[in-house]
Structure 1
């Protein structure tokens, strides 16, 4: 039997099996895959005998597992979700599934039966989190029960079939030291970042998509004192803070009647009323940037967020643009003053073309210069060498530029009685 004919057989048996399923019984079994698989196997056998479809043991097992995985909500993506070496799953229609392993994208040999099956599974994934996706609302941002970030786009927006993007939830939160040992930075830089976090510098982690911003933010958060009240604000909960005094808030999309939406800006405004010591925003990408800067300027030192930008200078420009989106009619000079007085440090992280993720610059923000431009002072900067190692990995060195005499970092270190430790690292 050729592949097209085999797929037609599978579609027929799948449709017939789904048609005779006892929904109440299936719902009972849906949390136990083995029990559900046993029940589905019985039904597949019944359908194949009734319709005189004779299956080999291998094909029988394949179809039973396919239907079981579909009912449980992941379909052929189940084995990718269980593979710890996969960090991202990208579905571009039923026949194109890509995964990221070790920072590199590669095509998987897995497929959906057709776009109808793919769309059904996408809807189940979204429904588990109380969201919906249909022609009236063809775009949805959500997360899976395990915390993985989920984005779904269906027709008529997706032209070549339903698209699913999953950023898998990292079950283990890496420390700065582990990131350093893995090559993302030096141990000296890891110690430096831990000290500026502890001493309540306001930090922005800047980088591109998939560069490791959230991983780094998680690592930084481990150096917040346990006696501080922290409020985290996210579109999809990914941060894994271990401090005892923690309030976690998440945005909400509009419901069926286009009501009940809670935006990131709403969360930031509300967080300011919750007496936080620190506010951590998973990602700043809209008008909430203005409220975030106000929080950093009004006693919430040590607040942190991530931002999509390719360099510290780009991060400053993006912040300015985001504040303009807030609706306040402020001159650019006032916006720049707000940014310069609120943010202390920008940590730039990048995914390099060899698949590695690396902190490429740590820069301190200074005052507005005579030309009306915000001053940026690099502290550490990655300088790649013109050749690669034997594994074709980018290698290079970090150049240390030192701290200025009027550095906020140095002043905070004195206030928190860690100046001596900082001196050991950077010779300040």
Structure 2
């Protein structure tokens, strides 16, 4: 079980967004309006105007603050610039909470909700994200900000609700800072996983296996996936498919920088008022199969692409990594089956057939958790199971065997891995103190 978020009011805080005079801001807004000619302005437009107006001597923080002011996001500057902030919740238009260090804290109220919400709406629409309307009063999507430090390259996943499903406007902004993510050795040092578990997961990907990283929201699935992919991408060509840039393996997010032999692709929703055909994760997986990848990485399996992941793995495309929202090993299969059967070609397949595809394609499952240990909130791998390439007797269930289990604050070896090609001997872990017996899910 995960503890309820701790909400703590912090008094006496004030926003520090007074550095630019109102006159200068209005002057730059006029320039921005002329530059964009009526279309919604994006971060690059705002940054260009700020650079031109403030000149070459402007500090990076001044440019970032000015760009956000031009986008009408100025009241969120301090939170976006704080690397410890992972989520921002805006309740009933003006009440703000931030999630940092495993706890929710009360932040200063929004002084001009109309301006801020209007700015969020315009930037969202600039990136092709549908915002709430009278017909559908809720929306979600993701986009990226690329501004000078202290904000840097920041991806934002937004969930927005309007009346009548809530009393007043409510937004949640989930923040990801790919350029500041820890590598695999740092995760081991932080106790996220043990050296032995690290060696097993690296061995799975080195042998072109398929790994599912599961867990609840905010537990560190993307962070672990990125760290593992940095190891795999030194040897393999990867295609990475996401709805916002989060699994940035070597890439710093800028269009002219070197991403290594990793092809990053984004899904594209249908833009309001446009007839452009959208690109789903399913579409991009099909395209990726023609781009000579060693492995295909889907940032998060949410729907029919789950079936394509199985087909790609069963045709020799590996290593593969994907993340999945569920909170235990025993629920991974039921959740995955639900998504795979939403694929038009899988709807009429017997469950046993899909289960066999899963068992043959998926090598291992790592489940992460996020809870308090020793008085502080921690993220860690709670268990790792291997998937045997078989179905359990006459049932329709794949066999998942726990091979690492968290005990007394550490991920320790449990049952010896035996999957052909990924056994303890094949990966070079035969010397670990494996126990007898196995916990089969």
Q: Same fold (TM over 0.5)?
A: yes
User: For residues 34 and 217 of structure 2, what CA distance do their matches in structure 1 show?
Assistant: 37
Change (3 A) 1:207 1:167: same
Number of residue pairs matched by the alignment: 372
Determine the structure 2 residue equivalent to 1:6.
Answer: none
Determine the structure 1 residue equivalent to 2:157.
Answer: 150
Determine the structure 2 residue equivalent to 1:293.
Answer: 310
Give how far 1:235 is off: 0.9
In structure 1, list runs of 5 or more residues that go unmatched.
1-9, 39-64, 385-395
User: For residues 252 and 403 of structure 1, what CA distance do their matches in structure 2 show?
Assistant: 43
* 1:245 maps to which of 251, 261, 264: 261
User: For residues 89 and 289 of structure 1, what CA distance do their matches in structure 2 show?
Assistant: 30
Change (3 A) 1:270 1:26: closer
Contact 1:93 1:115 in 2 (8 A): no
User: For residues 254 and 313 of structure 1, what CA distance do their matches in structure 2 show?
Assistant: 36
Whether 2:414 is the aligned partner of 1:401: answer: yes
Question: Which string of whole-angstrom CA distances, capped at 9 and with x for unpartnered residues, describes residues 229-278 of structure 1?
Answer: 21000011101213721111100111123632111111112212222110
Give how far 1:351 is off: 0.9
* 1:266 maps to which of 283, 305, 308: 283
Determine the structure 2 residue equivalent to 1:41.
Answer: none
Give how far 1:128 is off: 4.6
Contact 1:141 1:151 in 2 (8 A): yes
In structure 2, list runs of 5 or more residues that go unmatched.
1-17, 36-44, 56-63, 146-152, 251-258, 436-441
* 1:361 maps to which of 380, 383, 387: 383
The TM-score, its normalising length taken from structure 2, stands at 0.75
Question: Which string of whole-angstrom CA distances, capped at 9 and with x for unpartnered residues, describes residues 81-123 of structure 1?
Answer: 1111212222223332111112222222x22124322321212
Query: SS of the residue aligned with 1:356?
Result: strand
User: For residues 337 and 406 of structure 2, what CA distance do their matches in structure 1 show?
Assistant: 26
State how 1:416-427 maps to structure 2 within 5 Å: 419=427, 421-425=428-432
The TM-score, its normalising length taken from structure 1, stands at 0.78
Query: SS of the residue aligned with 1:144?
Result: strand
Query: SS of the residue aligned with 2:360?
Result: helix
Contact 1:251 1:262 in 2 (8 A): yes
Contact 1:206 1:213 in 2 (8 A): yes
Alignment RMSD (CA, Å) = 3.2
Determine the structure 2 residue equivalent to 1:53.
Answer: none
Change (3 A) 1:67 1:402: closer
Determine the structure 2 residue equivalent to 1:126.
Answer: 124
Question: Which string of whole-angstrom CA distances, capped at 9 and with x for unpartnered residues, describes residues 359-394 of structure 1?
Answer: 00010011211141221111111134xxxxxxxxxx
Determine the structure 1 residue equivalent to 2:104.
Answer: 105
Contact 2:233 2:261 in 1 (8 A): no
**Structure with the larger RCO, 1 or 2 (CA within 8 Å, 6+ apart):** 2
Give how far 1:424 is off: 4.2
Once the two structures are overlaid, the 10-residue window that deviates more, 201-210 or 115-124, is: 115-124
Contact 1:173 1:240 in 2 (8 A): no
Give how far 1:75 is off: 2.2
Change (3 A) 1:338 1:176: same
* 1:255 maps to which of 271, 274, 285: 271
Whether 2:338 is the aligned partner of 1:340: answer: no
Determine the structure 2 residue equivalent to 1:319.
Answer: 336
Structure with more helix by fraction: 1
Give how far 1:127 is off: 4.1
Query: SS of the residue aligned with 1:237?
Result: coil
State how 1:50-61 maps to structure 2 within 5 Å: none
Change (3 A) 1:27 1:382: farther
Once the two structures are overlaid, the 10-residue window that deviates more, 345-354 or 133-142, is: 133-142
